[in-house]
């Protein structure tokens, strides 16, 4: 813990805007708030606060986490989707921010362009939170690192090893690499070279690793990447709406990176745990899962086999629940007086 950390009024746009001490403090605060909630001892610190939630992209966990966290703390929220906001159509992000900042105590944005959330933050004099963009997913990182801390017995980050397997050139791969570098963890990006984080993201991670002592490995070899890893992370391979030819080429490219029981065994650890930010295509009970079963013969899951997803090694639902606890910590840290 770092008693001198003060995040009041701060934006939360990307992990690299924060120090390891500040991120550790947020994770520790989330743990305390989670314990207070479980003990029936939670104190409301955000009574009278109102938060605007702008969703350009659909969401289950992010929306629910922000709404429930706010309600627990006595705050209120307004949900704005593309059908109920003029942002990007008749009004710029900057103008929208200027309007909302005069009515709300904070603004959350979940959408495509990082430039949009940056523009909101530049124009608003209240905290702006990045609920997800194509480049970064910082609120997910808080939940993931709280989950790993809980399941590693509070070990120092230098003793925590994690592998991100699959399509790593997206927001999850970027954020996992950079957050791990900031915190000083042992992080491996396990993916085809064409799906590694961009070079500027790699360089940022290397710079932060020089300060923290983090160990970074980028490899195309799944076995090299996961050996010794305590936590194995993955994410979906293809986004909804992409054409069939993208699906075909992506699935063919990533088949060797599918997280199945053999890959988990390859960690060499009996305590290896599986993590996924969700939604996951692990069985044929979804439209995507059925497509994968018919088109690719993957009836037991796409990026992760159901034998792993539904196993005792899977932390995915506790990880999802931790979205609420860490987002609550973020709002308390930036808004509570």
215 is catalytic: no
269 is catalytic: no
Q: Which position among 135, 140, 149, 202 bears the catalytic label?
A: 140
323 is catalytic: yes
Beta bridge partners of 307: none
86 is catalytic: no
DSSP 241: T
- Percent helix, strand and coil across the chain, each to the nearest 5: 45, 15, 40
Q: Which position among 24, 167, 235, 300 bears the catalytic label?
A: 235
Q: Do residues 26 and 12 lie in contact, with contact meaning Cβ atoms separated by under 8 Å? A: no
Terminal-residue alpha carbon distance, the chain: 19
Six-digit token pair at 62?
């992010």
Q: Which position among 230, 282, 323, 325 bears the catalytic label?
A: 323
Q: Which position among 14, 49, 72, 110 bears the catalytic label?
A: 110
C-alpha dihedral over 193, 195, 197, 203, to 10 degrees? 20
Q: What residues contact 310, with CB distance under 8 A and at least 6 apart?
A: 282
Q: Which position among 137, 230, 258, 269 bears the catalytic label?
A: 137
- Kind and range of the H or E run holding 284: none
208 is catalytic: no
Q: Which position among 63, 118, 250, 277 bears the catalytic label?
A: 277
Enzyme catalytic residues: 110, 137, 140, 235, 277, 323
């Amino acid at each position: 813990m770092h008693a001198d950390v003060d995040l009041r009024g701060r934006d939360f746009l990307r992990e690299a805007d924060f120090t390891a001490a500040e991120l550790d403090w947020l994770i520790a605060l989330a743990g305390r708030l989670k314990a207070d909630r479980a003990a029936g001892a939670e104190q409301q610190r955000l009574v009278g606060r109102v938060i605007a939630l702008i969703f350009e992209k659909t969401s289950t966990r992010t929306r629910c986490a922000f709404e429930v966290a706010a309600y627990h703390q006595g705050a209120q929220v307004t949900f704005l989707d593309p059908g109920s906001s003029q942002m990007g159509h008749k009004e710029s992000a900057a103008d929208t921010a200027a309007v909302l900042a005069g009515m709300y105590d904070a603004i959350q944005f979940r959408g495509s362009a990082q430039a949009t959330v940056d523009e909101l933050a530049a124009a608003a004099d209240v905290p702006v939170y990045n609920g997800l963009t194509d480049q970064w997913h910082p609120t997910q990182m808080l939940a993931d690192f709280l989950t790993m801390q809980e399941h590693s017995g509070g070990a120092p980050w230098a003793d925590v090893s994690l592998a991100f397997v699959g399509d790593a050139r997206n927001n999850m791969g970027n954020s996992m690499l950079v957050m791990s570098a900031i915190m000083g963890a042992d992080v491996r990006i396990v993916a085809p070279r064409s799906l590694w984080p961009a070079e500027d993201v790699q360089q940022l991670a290397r710079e932060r690793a020089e300060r923290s002592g983090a160990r970074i490995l980028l490899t195309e070899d799944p076995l090299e990447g996961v050996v010794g890893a305590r936590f194995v992370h993955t994410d979906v391979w293809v986004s909804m709406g992409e054409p069939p030819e993208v699906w075909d080429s992506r699935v063919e490219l990533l088949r060797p990176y599918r997280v199945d029981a053999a890959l988990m065994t390859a960690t060499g650890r009996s305590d290896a745990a599986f993590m996924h930010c969700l939604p996951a295509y692990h069985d044929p009970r979804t439209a995507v899962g059925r497509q994968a079963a018919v088109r690719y013969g993957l009836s037991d899951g796409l990026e992760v086999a159901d034998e792993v997803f539904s196993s005792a090694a899977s932390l995915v639902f506790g990880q999802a629940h931790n979205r609420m606890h860490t987002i609550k910590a973020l709002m308390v840290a930036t808004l509570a007086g």
